[in-house]
Structure 1
Amino acid sequence: MNGPEIHISFAPALGLFVAAPRRAGRTTVLTDGAATLGHVVESLGVPLTEAGRLLVDGRPVTASHVPAAGEQVDVLAVERPQPVPGAPLRFLLDVHLGTLARRLRLLGVDAAYESEDIGDAALAALSAGERRVLLSRDRGLLRRRELWAGAYVYSDRPDDQLRDVLERFSPPLAPWTRCTACNGPLAEADKDTVDARLEQGTRRTYDVFAQCTECQRVYWRGAHHARLQAIVEDALRDFGGGVAA
């Protein structure tokens, strides 16, 4: 780019995406006089999914604004909780976020997950076709124009990933209502109905069951229940304001 100079600053939360010299204060950028502000922001490393309000000389503008010489640009972080157009709030996770997907499902959050790498174009198209917020740590994927909505997952630790998504989007929580394997709804199941699917020890020890209405997987309060219960209790304690009715 070699045209009008603008002066840009990024919110501290966006420092992860921009080069070190641009992380503090306002810096100068040469534009070509035709590129939109959205293009300029992304060229500097920030996916538009992570940019909140864009201010030019203190007034809000859209990403389609074409910067003029001398403009003072401020790129803010997204609001938290972040409003998402349309309803209901649903997610799509890429192949690297399987643990996060299972934890969201544990909390009753609609979280589709691709266990195989189907490619960026297919993921973006699926996000648009099903109106799902795409969650990913792939910055390039989040820059695809066909996305309906997306969000960068800032941590590589599942505990922190879950807190990040719950804090950012505040989805309604309905624990123990979704299949952690396929995302389908769970229903109470009579022991006799699921008997053929149970090991002898399970059949002898447990009496309360649920079953996925889509993949037919059977659930009971087994050896891992205490660990899962702790995840649920932590989420309800800190983010339970959005508990589903």
Structure 2
Amino acid sequence: MKFICDAMLGKLAKYLRILGLDAEYTAGPAILDRYKLEPEPPYFLTKRLKGVTYPKTVFIRSGKAKDQLLEVKEVIRRFINREKIMNRCIECNVELADIGKADIEQYVPEFVFHHYSTFRICPHCRKVYWEGSHAAHMGDLINEIMKD
């Protein structure tokens, strides 16, 4: 399932990507026209209350990204696949690829290179990812989203 986040929801789009969801970040609802005829159109997440007539619109009220994520948890949690969590570039929304440790030494801090063994890379922007301390924090957030 694809999610389209409007210009006011950039951090929410990044959280959705961390959760492994396809989340596009756009300046406005005009982009939705290209999805209207698809068999499974995306959800549109927005803070706008006026002028949006798209059928799968979710209005977001909170200003904080974590609270926004909790606002949409009923919609998103059925699409979360635990195997896909932390599998997308938070900048590009592209699925990450595995990369050997020997291939990334020049791209990560020395401490990271010596303390971690598994790395992923974005094939589009070449950003390198590893499971650092943020993973435990995200685990807590994921558990909160998945609980009833």
Letter in 1 for 2:119: F
Q: Contact between 2:15 and 2:69, CA under 8 Å: does it hold in 1?
A: yes
Q: Say which of 75, 100, 112 aligns to 2:24.
A: 112
Letter in 1 for 2:31: L
> Partners in 1 of 2:109 and 2:66 — Cα distance?
31
> Partners in 2 of 1:141 and 1:104 — Cα distance?
25
> Partners in 2 of 1:231 and 1:173 — Cα distance?
13
> Partners in 2 of 1:141 and 1:227 — Cα distance?
37
Alpha-carbon spacing, 1:198–1:138, altered in 2? closer, same or farther (3 Å): same
> Partners in 1 of 2:131 and 2:8 — Cα distance?
28
Letter in 2 for 1:91: F
List, as ranges, runs of 4+ consecutive aligned residues in structure 1 with deviation greater than 4 Å.
none
Matches within 5 A, 1:27-46: none
- The alignment's TM-score, normalised by the length of structure 2, stands at 0.80
- The alignment's TM-score, normalised by the length of structure 1, stands at 0.51
> Partners in 2 of 1:162 and 1:134 — Cα distance?
14
Larger Rg: 1
Q: How many residues align?
A: 140
Quote the RMSD (CA, aligned, Å).
Answer: 2.1
Deviations 1:118-157 (A, max 9, x none): 4xxxx222122144322111112424xxx46322113223
Structure 1 portions without partners, runs of 5+: 1-88, 240-245
Percent identity of equivalent pairs: 27
Matches within 5 A, 1:1-245: 89-114=1-26, 118=27, 123-130=28-35, 131-143=41-53, 147=54, 149-174=56-81, 175-236=85-146, 238=147
Structure 2 portions without partners, runs of 5+: 36-40
With CA pairs under 8 Å and 6+ residues apart, which has the higher RCO, 1 or 2?
2
